[in-house]
Amino acid sequence: MENKTHKVFLSLGTNLGDKRENLNKAIQKIGELVGDVVRQSSFIETEPWGFESKNRFLNGCVCVETDLTPHEVLEMTQLIERELGRKEKSHNGEYHDRIIDIDILLYDDVTIDEPELKIPHPHMKERDFVMIPLNEILKE
């Protein structure tokens, strides 16, 4: 890929600790490591999806202009998750409480279907907690 700015849409979620602070820290780190955060949705509170928990989620989306490749964006978002205290990703489709979750939803109009990276995100259209904040910033 030539070195030009790409638009990447990321979904963020948290259901542990100071949720608003978790999302704000993640967005700040995204700005430092991924690229310029050019749009940010409002945060919405949602029920856990795919597992039982007494902890509700706070979710949001950002649009980032980046020079990174999709795989580099994945590396950086996983690094941010670890820096903020995320211990493990879900395994075998089992979800659990998390301090931060960052998913790549869209990257320009690129389609990638690999075991570790799928763009567009395969489940995003089923998830209101992704689509509501995403639609808020897609329209701008």
Q: State how beta strands 6-14 and 101-107 pair.
A: antiparallel
- Active-site residue (options: 97, 98, 109, 127): 98
- Active-site residue (options: 20, 67, 86, 128): 86
- Active-site residue (options: 18, 67, 82, 103): 103
Cα angle 69, 75, 115 (rounded to 5 degrees) comes to 85
Catalytic residue status for 113: no
Catalytic residue status for 39: no
CB 86 within 8 A of CB 27: no
The alpha carbons of the chain give a radius of gyration, in whole angstroms, of 14
- Active-site residue (options: 101, 108, 113, 127): 101
Q: Which of 106, 23, 10, 104 is nearest to 57 (CA)?
A: 23
Whole-angstrom distance, CA of residue 25 vs CA of residue 128:
23
Catalytic residue status for 82: no
Catalytic residue status for 108: no
**Active-site residue set:** 86, 98, 101, 103
